[in-house]
Amino acid sequence: MPIALYALAIGGFGIGLTEFVIAGLLPEVAADFHVTEAVAGGLISGYALAVAVGAIALTAALGRVDRRHALLGLMVLFIAGNVLSAIAPNYALMMLGRILAALCHGAFFGIGSVVAADLVPAEKKAAAISIMFGGLTVANVLGVPLGTFLGQAAGWRSTFWAIAVIGVLALAGIAALTPATPARAGGSLLGEFRVFANRQVWLSIVVTILGYGGMFGAFSYMAYTLTGVSGFSAGAVPWLLIVFGLGLFFGNIAGGRAADRNLPVTLIVLLAGLSGVLAVFALTAGNQIAAVAGLLLMGGFGFATVPGLQMRILGHAEQAPTLASGANIAAFNVGNAFGAWLGGLTISAGLGYRAPLWAGAAVTVGALLVYLLATRLPGGEFAARRPLAAAAH
């Protein structure tokens, strides 16, 4: 694989770290700014909303810019956001720093997915995308625990300084290793947005929202499930979530390789498998060994879908792949918000801490049904009754 992919992965690692590490540092941030933890939690939701906005708005704005230059500009924005977070004297400026960093998130992965796919031959495109997203998974496995430890030991601001340094390394790597890509000639921004007239693009987005939302909705309340149902202590939860992160890491790699071999079969198997894993996890969550296995498999099946979902929307948006890719990154974050909202509803309804797992399983079944429908509509993988191998690309 081209070494430039690993420069993109470093950027993904930094972005994943800045997204997730704040959860472990909220008590310190809240105390420093003299706000409640609920208010401090706005630094998480504000980030997620800015990701969704930036994924489409910035990706569209950069559609006529050399993709390497676009990635470099996004990394500069990312570095600036984290430096502002590190020096912020008050909550408002901290929020501004978070928003600046978040705006580059969706556009970076959206544009980076296209760059990664262009660096390799057709039969390796999903694997290349998985390498870039591998940085995000490593951030969950190693970066978040280490970043939280650094912030607790040396002050939460030190973590954001460290993330800014990672951003500088990614910036240098992208500048040195990523080839220039001439801006797309002709057309207009309005023409780019015509990609959304394609029904298959919208169906891909819906599958992403439901498939990823099912997994993330269950994960959002996992601490309650592990302590309230499985019987683990609160102190064990951070270490147990590393198991989930390992599932993300290996699932991402395996999913990319499988999608390159046969995209439609891969997505069908993974979505069906994820819904089954969530249902079995709900049934067996009272057993600690089964809960650990459920965490690993939930992360594995959940993130294994990501390279394939990105590949599908790219395949149906050849006239505006960068914008469509960014829109799908926004869809992942919409799925996060939807899944967390639905899981919260089940708990508020008094259905217990297994309920988000059941809700996640149901939502993932919905993703599978939408995908099966999409494959059989005009433009879908099976619509022309092509041989299965041919439908993979």
Q: Where are the domains of the chain?
A: 1-180, 194-383
Return the minimum-mean-pLDDT range out of 41-55, 158-172, 222-236, 282-296. Answer: 41-55
Note the pLDDT of residue 317: 78
Fold of 194-383: Growth Hormone; Chain: A; (1.20.1250)
Note the pLDDT of residue 168: 96
Q: What is the pLDDT of residues 192-247, one digit of tens each?
A: 677 778 889 899 999 999 998 898 888 878 878 888 899 998 778 778 878 888 89
Note the pLDDT of residue 31: 85
1-180 against 194-383: fold identical: yes
Pick the residue with more confidence: 38 or 197? 197
For residue 272, give every residue at least 6 positions away whose Cβ sits within 8 Å of its Cβ, in sequence order, or none: 368
Q: Alpha carbon of 338 to those of 166, 208, 210, 213, 333: distances in Å?
A: 31, 12, 8, 6, 9
Residue 183: DSSP 8-state: P
- Whole-number Å distance between alpha carbons of 27 and 102: 21
C-alpha closest to that of 326 among 16, 55, 52, 48 = 55
Confidence of residue 185 (pLDDT cuts 50, 70, 90): low
**Residue that has been written with the tokens 């799908």 in this structure:** 328
- Whole-number Å distance between alpha carbons of 188 and 298: 42
Q: What is the pLDDT of residues 253-281, one digit of tens each?
A: 899 889 888 999 999 999 999 999 999 99
Pick the residue with more confidence: 17 or 136? 17
Mean pLDDT of 80-89: 95
Note the pLDDT of residue 384: 53
Confidence of residue 184 (pLDDT cuts 50, 70, 90): low
pLDDT over 80 at 286, yes or no: yes
Confidence of residue 391 (pLDDT cuts 50, 70, 90): very low
Pick the residue with more confidence: 185 or 282? 282
Fold of 1-180: Growth Hormone; Chain: A; (1.20.1250)
C-alpha closest to that of 316 among 328, 303, 330 = 328
Q: What is the pLDDT of residues 110-165, one digit of tens each?
A: 888 888 888 888 778 878 888 887 887 788 777 777 887 888 888 889 999 999 99
Confidence of residue 392 (pLDDT cuts 50, 70, 90): very low
pLDDT over 50 at 386, yes or no: no
Q: Is the pTM of this model over 0.85?
A: no
Note the pLDDT of residue 61: 78
Cβ proximity of 15 and 164 under 8 Å: no
